[in-house]
Amino acid sequence: MAASTLPSHIMAWKKSSEVNRMEEIQVDNAGRTVKGFKADSKFDQPVPKFSFDNPNKEEGNRLSKVNCYWQACDLERSQREDRYSYLLSAEREVAARKKAEDAERVSRSTKGKGKEGPKTPKKAAAKKAPESVREVGSGSEGDGEEESEEPTACVYCVQKKIKCVPLAGWKVCAACQKRKVKCEYFDKTVWVVIDGSQKIAESVQELVELENRCEASRLEGVWYNLQMCLMQVEQKAAAGLVAADARVLHLLELKSKGVEIPVDLEKQVQVERGLVQTTLTAHTEDLTERMDDIQTRTAWTKIGLPRIHSGDSPPPRVAVQGTKRKGNEEGDCVEGSKKKKKKKKVVETEEEV
């Protein structure tokens, strides 16, 4: 687990001995049930309280409280274990480096080659100071002279991010010689901290990129759902418009037959049709605005968002049924008018006879 995700009270522990570790409680333990619930004494969080005397309290409510408590307890225990393992590994690494330094110091003192300051290197220092320090620590005891002559960077050159160029016959580098000061060197533990901070920064950057990718995939799913919603809104609006047109045609047909239509009914039909159109426009603008926002937020991926359909969507079922019903009604009207004409002709022929 990354250090940035740990809470502050866990990050406050700087040594492995300070970590208050928690024991793992198995899932089948009776203390994790509702009736046999027993809180963890090392977990400083509010403990759920139950009153079994009240019959109105449901068992599911108690069970959810117990599950939430143990989920938080397990998360706290895993975070403490991660912090403990991280601190323990760092302490072991520092102890190993210190042991190697002591052995190197003893070997130099026995050979009589210890010096007041660091030796001037023969080669130029590397660009990254932590790598040069790691090179200084690598090597066997038999190569004591080569180890002492490996390049290191002084504090001033590291702070200014410049190349530390040593001068032959001097115990200072070129930059410090211009400033007329002595070269100061970091302790190896400081280099370990610098190297670790660089690794942490890289891991944090990778986590941020991963979070951005996850957010982009989530927005892609939202984009797909908005497209589906837009299609459904358009289909419902089309069905509503077809139904409104059918009512208007029916009123016109009744007017043509001489039936008086109330003015309020005509206005109601017109208002219903306008309401369908207004609702469609409002929903479409809202959905398209959200889709444009998602498209702007995911433009950095340069992948594009998926499209559900590339052409005109098929007409809705309701619209098809409405047109069929309308055609049937028109056909019935035509047949009725033909029958009336035939009856009139028969009556006229009888009168003539």
CB neighbour burial string for 111-120, b if at least 16 within 10 angstroms, e if fewer: eeeeeeebbb
Q: What is the pLDDT of residue 200?
A: 92
Q: What is the pLDDT of residue 135?
A: 43
Give which of 28, 7, 151, 150 is closest to 79, Cα–Cα.
7
First to last CA, the chain: 108
pTM: 0.33
User: Where are the domains positioned within the chain?
Assistant: 1-114, 116-186, 215-352
Q: What is the pLDDT of residue 249?
A: 86
Concatenated DSSP letters of 224-272: HHHHHHHHHHHHHHHHHHHHHHHHHHHHHHHHHTT----HHHHHHHHHH
Query: For 66-98, how does the pLDDT look when each residue is reduced to its tens digit (9 = 90+)?
Result: 878 888 888 888 888 888 888 888 888 988 988
- φ/ψ (deg, to 5) at 307: -115, 140
Mean pLDDT by 10 residues, the chain (353 residues): 70 81 78 76 75 59 78 84 86 89 83 52 45 43 43 74 78 78 73 83 89 85 85 87 86 83 82 85 85 81 63 45 48 51 47 47
3-state secondary structure of 345: helix
User: How many residues are listed for the chain in this entry?
Assistant: 353
**CA dist., res. 70 & res. 270, Å (int):** 61
297 in Cβ contact with 217 (< 8 Å): no
3-state secondary structure of 55: coil
Q: What is the pLDDT of residue 183?
A: 77
**CA dist., res. 124 & res. 150, Å (int):** 9
242 in Cβ contact with 277 (< 8 Å): no
242 in Cβ contact with 318 (< 8 Å): yes
DSSP H/E element including 277: helix 263-297
**CA dist., res. 268 & res. 277, Å (int):** 14
- φ/ψ (deg, to 5) at 245: -65, -35
Q: Where are the alpha helices (DSSP H) in 112-180?
A: 129-137, 144-148, 155-160, 174-179
Give the angle 316-317-321 at the CA atoms, nearest 5°. 125
Query: For 12-63, how does the pLDDT look when each residue is reduced to its tens digit (9 = 90+)?
Result: 888 888 887 887 877 777 777 777 777 777 777 777 776 666 655 555 577 7
Concatenated DSSP letters of 14-53: -SGGG----PPPPTT-GGGSSTT----TT--SPPP---TT
Name residue, tokens 């977990």: 43
Phi and psi based region of residue 134 (left: phi greater than 0; alpha: psi -120 to 50; beta: remaining): alpha
Q: What is the pLDDT of residue 237?
A: 87
**CA dist., res. 86 & res. 94, Å (int):** 12
Residue type, 184: E
CB neighbour burial string for 229-257, b if at least 16 within 10 angstroms, e if fewer: ebeebbbbbbbbbbbbbbbeeebeeeeee
Helix 59-111 / helix 188-256 crossing angle, nearest 10 deg: 150
Q: What is the pLDDT of residue 58?
A: 58
Supply 258's token pair. 């001489």
